[in-house]
Chains A and B, each alone.
Chain A
Amino acid sequence: MSDEARAKFGRILLLVGRIALAAIFLAAAYAKLKPQGAMPWSVASVRTSLAMFAMQVDSYQLLPEEHVNFVAHTLPPFELLLGLWLLSGIGLRYSSLITTLLLGGFFSAMVRTYSKGLEVSCGCFGPGEQLGAKTLVRDGSLLALSLAVMIGAFLLRRKADDASAPASLPATQRAD
């Protein structure tokens, strides 16, 4: 495979990974914000969903109550914005870095809770999903994907910088 073909393949992989991560974050945000039961979409029903998510965050027993509420009320909108940012592809190095840090945080919280033997709702994609080996494998895979996208984004940027470097060098150096 030529360098050009390899670079093209890398870019395609990066695109697929980025879109997959964006879709996952958008789905996670939607699942946390959507009305519970037979409730219609309204400000009150979204508030109920966020209160439900707060209970799931609380069950991890990591944060004090006021921090639980802050996390529960800011995380779903943040996931929504992050999903849109990843989808846009703008500043991918930064969006993928934030995604990796966020997923790393989720994963470590899940591992800690699981190792403590606490049986709680995962809260990853809305209510009703139990934290277990399956969810750990899934979130671990997402973290790996995010890491791969981040590395890919940084490598791509470096290559682009390298390619543009000779042109930006001073005239004396170029002559050398």
Chain B
Amino acid sequence: MNRISDLARHKTFVASALVALIFLFGGLRGAAAQDQVAPATKSTTATASKPSSASTGKTSTKKAGKSGAKPAAEEPVGSPNKGVGFPSAPIVMEVYSDYMCPQCRNFYMGTLKAMMNDYVPAGKVYLIHRDFPLPIAQHKYNWDAARWGTAAARIGRFEEVDRALYDNEPTWEADGNIQKIVAATLSPADFRRVQKMVAPCLSQTPPELRPTVPTGAACSLDTFIQQDIALGKQVPVQSTPTYVITNKGSRIPPGSGFVSWPLLKQFLDSLGQ
């Protein structure tokens, strides 16, 4: 009888050990999988819940300022983020423009500003600025303006500088003094960071106007502008402003020229239906 009871106890022990092992193994696998998923989920949430560009820049600068961990001037700079709004928005609108093209300014002042006050903060549209400085002799400072915008985008302050460039275009168009406009827009620390990036570029002739001169080595900003131009050529952009709208991943044929906000809004609303 004893033997039988020992065997039964033994069997119970083995069975419970097996169950424990299975749970342990399953738990370990689950934890490992969660570890792998967690960073991706976190980053997705971060991009979805935080508007990109200027506001992100503001947050990081404020945090750095308060904690005093790093002075703003030494913060590393990344790729330029010229997007405004929530990257998770169902509609993405890319606008190829030249800061010295009158139509682009009209489009920005009359239409995009209204959209940035309404549909962009509401998470309906994610607006991306793409530089497309036209090789026109009269547009003397379009590359410089694009460089200031790109430098500001690299520290997350694109939206303010972009707005200032368009708002004050008649002023800097006359003398090319974009620096004054940007200095008035950014904090002194941010301005120094941007100025540091732009300084080696300002003396250079735009590569499009002088293709025989090797450029790009000293001015890293031009590389980003040329990336935008290359993207534009794929569209293909034939004039500015040209807008490319992508609705839930499906790209709509590009449009160009000025469009009033009520009509653009009507189109965006029709996409949402």
Contacts and interface: CB of A to CB of B under 8 A. Distances in A.
The judgment on whether A and B are partners is yes
Interface of A: 36-39, 44, 47-48, 51-52, 54-56, 58-61, 65, 68-69, 118-121, 126-128, 130, 132
Given A65-B260, A118-B103, A52 B255 contact: yes
A48 B270 contact: yes
A69 B255 CA distance: 17
B263 interface: yes
A65 B271 CA distance: 20
Given A44-B273, A58-B260, A127-B255, A119 B266 contact: no
A52 B267 CA distance: 6
B253 A126 contact: yes
Interface in B225-273: 238-240, 247, 250-260, 262-264, 266-267, 269-271, 273
B107 to A, nearest CB: 10
Nearest to A61: B258
23 contacts: A36-B252, A36-B253, A48-B271, A51-B263, A52-B255, A54-B263, A54-B267, A55-B259, A55-B263, A59-B256, A59-B258, A61-B258, A69-B263, A118-B257, A118-B258, A120-B257, A121-B255, A121-B257, A127-B253, A127-B254, A128-B253, A128-B254, A128-B255
A120 B239 CA distance: 8
A61 B106 CA distance: 12
| SS class, residues of chain B in contact with chain A | mixed
Given A68-B263, A120-B239, 18 more contacts: A37-B252, A44-B273, A47-B270, A52-B252, A55-B255, A55-B259, A55-B267, A60-B257, A61-B258, A65-B262, A69-B263, A119-B103, A119-B239, A121-B254, A126-B253, A127-B254, A128-B255, A130-B239
Interface of B: 103, 238-240, 247, 250-260, 262-264, 266-267, 269-271, 273
B267 A58 contact: no
Contacts of B271: 48
Contacts of B258: 58-59, 61, 118, 120
A2 B125 CA distance: 68
B262 A130 contact: no
A117 B42 CA distance: 49
Which of A37, A56, A61, A120 has most B Cβ within 10 Å?
A37
A118 B259 CA distance: 12
A52 B258 CA distance: 13
Contact of A39 (B240, B250, B254, B259): B250
B239 A59 contact: no
B37 to A, nearest CB: 30
A60 B103 CA distance: 12
A168 to B, nearest CB: 56
A38 B252 CA distance: 8
Contacts of A120: 239, 256-258
Nearest to A132: B238
A61 B110 CA distance: 13
Given A48-B271, A119-B103, A130 B259 contact: no
Nearest to A123: B255
Contact of A54 (B240, B252, B266, B273): B266
Contact of B240 (A61, A68, A119): A119
A172 B254 CA distance: 71
Nearest to A54: B263
Nearest to A59: B257
A37 B263 contact: no
Nearest to A55: B259
A127 B242 CA distance: 12
Contacts of B252: 36-37, 52, 127
